[in-house]
Amino acid sequence: MDFLITPSAAKSGIVTVPGDKSISHRALMLGSIAEGTTEISGFLAGEDCLATLDAFLAMGVEIERQSATDLSVHGVGLNGLSAPAGQLDLGNSGTAMRLMTGLLAAQAFSTELIGDESLNGRPMTRIITPLTQMGAVVESDCDGTPPLQIRGGIKLHGIDYELPMASAQVKSCILLAGLYAEGRTTVTEPDVTRDHTERMLRTMGVSVETDGLRISLEPGQTLIGANIRVPADLSSATFVMLAAVLSEDADVLIENVGVNPTRRGVIDILTAMGADLTLENPRQFGDEPVADIRVRSSRLMGIEVDPALVSLAIDEFPALFVAAASADGETRFTGLKELRVKESDRIAAMSTGLRNLGIEVDEFEDGAVVSGGSFTGGTVESYGDHRIAMSLAVAGSVASGPVIVRDVDAVDTSFPGFAGLMKGLGLSINEDTT
């Protein structure tokens, strides 16, 4: 499927984007190994999270779906999972692959995790190394990519591990393995990353200690089922914010968005660029901070993005490249090397896409300098990456001519209904399956 975009503009309105993908994954995983029932509302019914759901069904967890976004997960306890009949296919989800490897490393049974072409090319040595230090046996392809074979019946021991890169997925993988290990497990981060795992563990009764960048837990703690209300996904809300900012006369309110401080980098960066953003009605969904985000049309200016914000906005940089391309002057991004091993090489993908739409981009190993300008029409590739596809689609809405974004099926992994929601907001984004 392709997106066909013609020049258009966001209008004022109130919208709600789908649930947070990171929190939806974790609610399924932790609810499955908890005692009792976990009620999940606001679940993201995207392909990535549905792959996680299917994996736990295959391991004997009973999951009832009252609706697309409301689930009851009947936990089986830390040691209640059963061996699946075959491989567990996690589709496009790096979160599922990395977190579940930690969770499965100490089970009594062996498992094999596979994914689609994109996921099967993503680096897994970063989790295999610490898990091996804990005693796990995890085998991969010779280049450290999936499929992953996880040997069962292994006793793990706790470790004190310093992450070589900031990664919430690696941190969470080690902490989940630590639930099963003998002795204390500690992870030290080089920079703050999203802390949804720690928050949800605490919500389910697990004592997790945080001392600056050090996170520790003791093994053998029982998780208790809980009510989890999933906020709207800030990463998805970013595309609505971008569309409103780039339009001429828009005032958009995005409701119930998760604004966890370990995720708010995109808000800080857009604000520094001159975006008119305000957080209204701050409140809590359980242990997660939530607010309504009001965003108005704004004139953006180029800035040098603070590298300290990278780990707090790691998924939003494709959209921020589009913001930079629309700003007055140059915007310099550094410290983005991790983007080269996402669903695509996001630095290269965005640099190529923006150039094809008439924007000057100077790309280098860990970032780029984007010169603000005007988008032309044209055809661009998404490289099968949902965030590249949506970012370039929003760019197309303010281009001087029609834009085609190729191969956008992956958008359903994180933002089902993206084109329809954006059309309701006034953008002319149509799906073409011919």
User: What integer pLDDT is reported at residue 40 of this predicted model?
Assistant: 98
Give, as one character, the DSSP assignment of residue 167. -
The answer, as to whether pTM is greater than 0.85, is yes
The residue assigned the tokens 């929190």 is: 23
Largest CA-CA distance found in the chain, in angstroms, rounded? 61
Model confidence over 221-252: pLDDT tens digits?
Answer: 999 999 999 999 999 999 999 999 999 999 99
Q: What tokens does 219 get?
A: 């093994």
Residue 150 scores a pLDDT above 90: yes
Residue 356: count of CB within 10 angstroms of its CB: 17
310 SS3 class: helix
Model confidence over 254-299: pLDDT tens digits?
Answer: 999 999 999 999 999 999 999 999 999 999 999 999 999 999 999 9
Report the chain's mean pLDDT, rounded to a whole number.
97
What Rg do the C-alpha atoms of the chain give, in angstroms? 21
- Strand 276-285 to strand 227-229: parallel, antiparallel, or no bridges (unpaired)? unpaired
Residue 314 scores a pLDDT above 90: yes
91 SS3 class: coil
Q: What tokens does 72 get?
A: 């009851």
Is the link from the previous residue into 261 a cis peptide, with omega within 30 of 0? no
Residue 395 scores a pLDDT above 90: yes
What is the rounded CA–CA span in Å between residue 390 and residue 229?
26
Confidence of residue 70 (pLDDT cuts 50, 70, 90): very high
161 SS3 class: strand
User: What integer pLDDT is reported at residue 356 of this predicted model?
Assistant: 98
Active-site hit among 2, 195, 315, 385 = 315
Whether residue 315 lies in the annotated active site: yes
Spatial contact of 205 and 224, defined as CB atoms under 8 Å apart: yes
Phi and psi of 154, rounded to 5°? -105, 135
What is the rounded CA–CA span in Å between residue 54 and residue 164?
32
User: What integer pLDDT is reported at residue 317 of this predicted model?
Assistant: 98
User: What integer pLDDT is reported at residue 434 of this predicted model?
Assistant: 78
Spatial contact of 33 and 63, defined as CB atoms under 8 Å apart: no
- What domains are there in the chain, each with its CATH number? 2-19+231-432 (3.65.10.10), 21-229 (3.65.10.10)
Region 4-16 average pLDDT: 96
Residue 433 scores a pLDDT above 90: no
Q: What tokens does 223 get?
A: 């998780």
Beta strand residue intervals within 28-130, DSSP E: 35-41, 62-65, 70-76, 88-89, 111-114
Model confidence over 345-390: pLDDT tens digits?
Answer: 999 999 999 999 999 999 999 999 999 999 999 999 999 999 999 9
